[in-house]
Amino acid sequence: MILILGGTTEGRLAVRVTDAAGSPYWYSTRGGLQQVACKNGTHITGAMDEAAMTAFCREHGIRLLVDAAHPFATELHRTVASVAESLDLPVIRVERTYTDGEADIRWCDGYPDAVRRLEADGISRLLALTGVQTIAKLRPYWERHDCWFRILHREESLEKALQQGFPQERLVYYEEDDEAALIARLQPQAILTKESGESGGFSQKVAAAQAACLPLYAIRRPALPAGFETVTGEHGLRKAIEHHVPGFFPLRSGFTTGACATAASKAALLALLGRPVDDSVEVLFPDGERLSLPVAECALSPNPIEGAAFQRASDPFQARRGRLGLKEPAAPPGQHTQRPLSESATATVIKDAGDDPDVTNGSVIVATVAFSDEPGIHFLQGEGVGRVTLPGLGIPVGGPAINRVPRQMMEQNLSALYDGGLDVTISVPGGRELAQRTFNPKLGIVDGISIIGTSGIVRPFSNEAFVESIRREVDVAVAVGVTHLVINSGAKSEAYLRSRFPDLPPQAFVHYGNFIGDTLKIAAEHHIPKVTMGIMVGKAVKLAEGNLDTHSKRVVMNKSFLKEIAVEAGCSPEACAAIDDMTLARELWTRLDEADARRFFPALRDRCLRVCATAYPSTAGELALILVEE
């Protein structure tokens, strides 16, 4: 069982992640004003001291504490740390994203320091954006100077401010004005805020102060207790929960080949630059989250440049550092270490797809990074990585099959370390054989697999990944000039449809699986003028009832609905009796006599077409449907 302590944006994120598991958990907030729906969790309210939290954890068998509270909730952080230590529980801290240090910010180590600095700087008119909880802490300042506090516009906050003796006329509310409007109206000499992170609007406050040419004072966030495991987003939280509470999620998540290639290339570049490489490397993901991936091996090229040994802090190194474009010293000032400068370095990461049935799970993803005389990052095709032969994938024809997002991930992570030219070769031993079990042959990708991933994360049996593969197939179809797209549920129906349309190229045939609606929407977005859908009767009866996603876990055969179609089509009473006796929809082919079949199946087809029109309207093109006998 898991106990989440929140009440913030990060608390809602933690609820969203844990709800997805379908397992029970507890969500605790100090007050009852936060409106959050826990589908599988129990929301409890009221502050808990160490004794109360300890008793709660013992009573409910808590195995993991998730601290998703405000960064300035120091008392709660200390309580969580004490309880975790006494009960030997792990703690995951869902941390906010913080901006890098701003030169124009006047940092304060606590509220007494802020009061001292404000008075020393002669600030007598202050706009405090630190919240109602800080009014008492700043009393020494506002009792002697003009000060406005912005608070939430609710009775609880107003009462707390008035209890501190703060004048009501000096209160302003979030709902009334943004920072720029407040500054224009109140004309303060300075702004005081807290280091509340991106979700706390810190960047907006900095921007407003800078736009008004006002000094911004900021209270540094307090340090977290030792031992907290920090994550910065939903993927890291899920991975941490999977590690500490095995079985909480029915299936483990994993990493894409793109994320693995990024981790391997970053490890190789670190080695090439003479920097230490640990057992794992931290990677920046497309959503801004940072996660660590394990590195299996990392080694410099066996053929270092002749005579390239140098001292890190020596003058020769400084010259090389400028030539190589290093963005930060490779070692602390004064440290002298002899290390050869190699031509290249190679690192490997083992692909872990979690519990997703990914053909690349367990594959070795290899990255070799070498310096280049040409500026920028250049991607090269290694063993087992495919080569693009058809347009439409957003990758140059003839180039390695490394998709757009993995390229961006590698560029972003590598350019943060080095701003010179690099050659990055990605290899996947055995990838040529694996590719035969993927869509690559149909997409015109030869000699290996693709390095893919839009988020860097593999969600088990990911709907998003399947729909993305459909989109890529349609992209290629359009690029090679297909104007008649034939969509089908799988290999059996495709074999029949290929016999019906022998003159169409292979790229014209696309599997939709269960995602009929998504596939039709993609076809409409691409303005494909003619679409033919082959569908077996089992999926057709679900589609006809209005289900554009026909997965068996979401919808089952509805006999009452089928009898309704039969009656409207003018079928005999025997047809309805046959439907009542059916176990599987495909029995319609054999249970209905010839006369009833001639009436029923056209009516079923027409119902399907009406439902499909919501995703592929007549304005998009011509849609035909073929019922495929099973």
Condensed to tens digits (0 to 9), the pLDDT of residues 256-311 reads 899 999 999 999 999 998 888 889 999 999 888 888 999 999 988 765 444 333 22
Question: Residue 582 — φ and ψ, nearest 5°?
Answer: -80, 150
Does the structure show a pLDDT above 60 at 321?
Answer: no
pLDDT of residue 258: 92
Which of 365, 372, 382 shows the shortest CA–CA distance to 425?
382
Which of 304, 310, 282, 450 shows the shortest CA–CA distance to 371?
304
Continuous segment of H or E residues that includes residue 509? strand 509-511
Is it true that 2-95+225-244 and 105-219 share their CATH fold? Answer: yes
Find the angle CA(579)-CA(581)-CA(587) to the nearest 5 degrees: 65
List, in order, residues 6 or more apart from 271 with CB less than 8 Å away: 277, 298, 299, 300, 345, 347
pLDDT tier at 314 (50, 70, 90 boundaries)? very low
Average pLDDT over residues 133-154: 90
Query: Where in the chain are the domains?
Result: 2-95+225-244, 105-219, 254-303+342-458, 478-628
Which of 116, 182, 105, 122 shows the shortest CA–CA distance to 149?
182
pLDDT of residue 38: 78
- Count of CB atoms situated within 10 Å of the CB of 552: 11
pLDDT of residue 551: 64
Virtual torsion, Cα 110, 112, 118, 121, nearest 10 deg: -100
Q: Tell me if 53 sits within 8 A of 84, measured CB to CB.
A: no
pLDDT of residue 250: 79
Choose the weakest-confidence range: 201-210, 312-321, 335-344: 312-321
Q: Which residues pair with 105 in a beta bridge?
A: 216
pLDDT tier at 610 (50, 70, 90 boundaries)? very high
Q: What pLDDT, in 10s, does the model give residues 461-512?
A: 656 667 877 888 898 889 888 999 999 887 778 888 989 999 998 889 998 8
Range 127-132, long-range pairs (CB < 8 A, 24+ positions): 127/182, 127/183, 127/186, 127/188, 127/190, 127/191, 127/192, 128/191, 128/192, 128/193, 129/179, 129/191, 129/192, 129/193, 129/194, 129/205, 130/192, 130/193, 130/194, 130/219, 131/194, 132/157, 132/160, 132/161
Range 254-303+342-458: architecture per CATH: 2-Layer Sandwich (3.30)
Which has more pLDDT, 174 or 83? 83
* Tokens at 356, concatenated: 């997703």
Does the structure show a pLDDT above 90 at 581?
Answer: no
* Tokens at 182, concatenated: 């407040």
Choose the weakest-confidence range: 72-76, 336-340, 462-466, 590-594: 336-340
Which of 22-26, 38-42, 164-168 has the highest average model confidence (pLDDT)? 164-168
Q: What pLDDT, in 10s, does the model give residues 353-387?
A: 887 777 888 899 999 999 988 999 999 999 999 99
* Rounded Cα gap, residues 298 and 265, in angstroms: 10
Question: Residue 26 — φ and ψ, nearest 5°?
Answer: -120, 140
Provide the mean pLDDT of the chain.
84
The radius of gyration computed from the CA coordinates of the chain, to the nearest angstrom, equals 31
Longest CA pairwise span in the chain (Å): 96
C-alpha distances (whole Å) from 516 to each of 75, 304, 345, 543, 613 are 52, 55, 46, 8, 11
Region 105-219: CATH code: 3.40.50.1380
* Rounded Cα gap, residues 432 and 423, in angstroms: 22
pTM: 0.65
Which has more pLDDT, 90 or 553? 90
- Count of CB atoms situated within 10 Å of the CB of 505: 11
**The dihedral sign for the CA sequence 410, 413, 417, 419:** positive
Choose the weakest-confidence range: 76-90, 184-198, 261-275, 431-445: 431-445
Q: What pLDDT, in 10s, does the model give residues 521-550?
A: 999 999 999 999 999 888 898 999 888 877
* Rounded Cα gap, residues 543 and 613, in angstroms: 12
Average pLDDT over residues 394-398: 85
b/e string for 92-116 if b means 16 or more Cβ within 10 A? bbbbbebeeeeeebeebeebeebbe
* Tokens at 415, concatenated: 């350019």
Which has more pLDDT, 557 or 322? 557
Q: Tell me if 266 sits within 8 A of 283, measured CB to CB.
A: yes
- Count of CB atoms situated within 10 Å of the CB of 70: 24
Class (C level, CATH) for 2-95+225-244? alpha beta
pLDDT of residue 322: 39
